[in-house]
Copies of this chain bind each other. A is one copy, B any other.
């Protein structure tokens, strides 16, 4: 059996390692229990530390949650947003985002943003505003795509672009999390919902 030979690590390595471990553990707990139900003792345990480590790396519960939000937002951008930016046409970009988001939602941490957004909806909490800002940036991006697509006629007319973008993102989150979520169908349902909100015709074919 493998003995626990303590590998010699540099300080920055230790710091980065424990920090990311804490963030990931917090993300999982956060997506399951929400911010109010988040217990730092459990987070530290999950990551293999104690609360001392948490308070050494983060100023408190707020900043830990903030770090989680930043981390997840970055992850989303790298895995989902990127898919949209690779497309040349705005409608294709939005649909690519929808499909990529469905895949993204198969991971347990995907709920984090939705959970926090709902928990802090209509409140004035730093974590809530951070999430709202992140989603807000996405909304404006999607709104721009919608405006472009409508200008070129690839996306039919409809409610104001920003409202449509807001609904578009909300729908993606919802389908990704509660929407049956079975691996074969989640992507199709996400695309269906996206097409519906955007007013695009349903896919016909195999």
Contacts and interface: CB of A to CB of B under 8 A. Distances in A.
Interface string A31-57: 011101100000000000000000000
Nearest to A162: B180
A149 B23 CA distance: 46
Given A36-B37, A119-B37, A174-B173, A166 B180 contact: yes
A154 interface: no
Contacts of A171: 171, 174-175, 179, 193
Nearest to A135: B178
Number of identical monomers bound together in the oligomeric complex: 2
A122 interface: yes
B202 A196 contact: yes
A139 to B, nearest CB: 9
Contacts of A61: none
A167 interface: yes
Given A34-B34, A173-B174, 19 more contacts: A32-B121, A33-B36, A33-B123, A115-B118, A115-B119, A118-B118, A157-B205, A159-B188, A159-B189, A160-B185, A163-B179, A167-B189, A167-B193, A169-B178, A170-B174, A170-B179, A171-B175, A192-B199, A193-B196
